[in-house]
Structure 1
Amino acid sequence: MKPTITEQEAKAKVEAYIEAAVGALPGTAERKPFTQNRSECTDPTDNGPHGRFEISATYEVTGLEPARFAEYFDAIVEWMSAHDFKVLTDSRPKDQYVFVRNNADAFDMSIQANDLGKFYIGATSPCVWPNGTPEPQALEADQPEQPVAAPPEPEPEPSRKPRRAPVDDEDFAQTNWTDGGTSY
């Protein structure tokens, strides 16, 4: 099992990515915390052991003109492309949603806006060990109790999908966004 960055490093990188992306917006843009989460990794396409976590944060961006949301999306997507992010989902113009993944470190980011004039930007880390190294119980679970026969031929790895399903704009606009979510 490979070491990862720590949860604290993942949290710092999530915040840095969001701050830098918001920097592509006009000076009137301000970040307002919306959610911060620490979620156990359960992604079956990850093929990794239990005991790792994803760190994520979403901010509502205030101080923007809803009539210019398309322009703001373009500015952030341009910043993302210049910083080695690959667009995995771009639902524009039907929906105001873009989902990207960084080619170098597998951090995800998303931008979403709605007809209520709300604009959100978020980032999620890949699966990380809390302290950067596998926990002892994960190491024990990785060790077979007795010798086993040669492993079967490996199946091709499934293509990796976004860790979180895209939110369609219809559900997004009907969601009560006044609940702030959980914190670290």
Structure 2
Amino acid sequence: MKLGRLIGASLVACIVAVVAACGEDKALQPTETNTQASERVEKLIQEAFAQLPPGSSLKPGIDVKSLPCDDPTDGGPAGRVIVEKRYSILPPADGAWQADQVIPVLAAFWQQQGYKAYSDQRSDKRYPVYSVETPDGYLVTVQGWDREDHLDYTLGGDSPCIWENGTPDPQ
């Protein structure tokens, strides 16, 4: 009887150890590097920008390749980073933005791409925002500002939490 309990206890301990090790390995899996993530964010922004009226342009704003992701919401380990980019979207030289030229166009495009709505505040007339999440965890956001005499927009993207060099730093 003691031998049976010992074998059973050992089997349970082994299963717990294997499950715990698998969970730990999953959390420490390699990711894209910050360079790869930056390229992916840029590609998502450029794809979205291509949907806007001809003559529009992007003015660089924020371009950060290594923001701390020490309080990750994905349940992963600390020590990872995110990449973030933001651009101002300038209207064609012949005028100002019309209310239906930016957010509705990008929302429709992202829906066609199968991206999941992350934040939908299009009904906010003064500061509308629409964000989507791609299947691989990237966020793309368009945000507007009603300046009373004209509309301003930004287009940006954020990576998921990644290891800066693609793998955890050995410490």
TM-score (norm 1): 0.69
Alignment RMSD (CA, Å): 1.5
Deviations 1:111-146 (A, max 9, x none): 111112211010000011111112112xxxxxxxxx
Choose the corresponding residue for 1:124, options 158, 167, 170.
158
- Look at both structures and tell me which one has the larger radius of gyration over its CA atoms: 2
| Secondary structure of residue in 1 paired with 2:164 | coil
| Secondary structure of residue in 2 paired with 1:81 | helix
Aligned residues: 136
What's 1:113 paired with?
144
Deviations 1:147-172 (A, max 9, x none): xxxxxxxxxxxxxxxxxxxxxxxxxx
What's 2:54 paired with?
27
What's 2:111 paired with?
81
Q: 1:27-176 to 2 correspondence within 5 Å?
A: 27-37=54-64, 38-64=66-92, 66-94=96-124, 95-102=127-134, 104-116=135-147, 117-137=151-171
Q: Which has the higher strand share?
A: 2
Deviations 1:12-55 (A, max 9, x none): 00111001100000111101101112211023422222221100
Q: Is the 8 A contact 2:52 2:101 kept in 1?
A: no
Q: Is the 8 A contact 2:53 2:101 kept in 1?
A: no
- Alignment gaps of 5+ in structure 1: 138-184
Looking at structure 1, the residues matched to 71 and 99 of structure 2 have their Cα atoms a distance apart, in angstroms, of: 32
Specify the code of the residue in structure 1 equivalent to 2:45. I
Specify the code of the residue in structure 2 equivalent to 1:99. S
- Alignment gaps of 5+ in structure 2: 1-27
| Secondary structure of residue in 2 paired with 1:55 | strand
Looking at structure 2, the residues matched to 110 and 33 of structure 1 have their Cα atoms a distance apart, in angstroms, of: 15
TM-score (norm 2): 0.74
The answer to which of 106-115 and 34-43 deviates more is 34-43
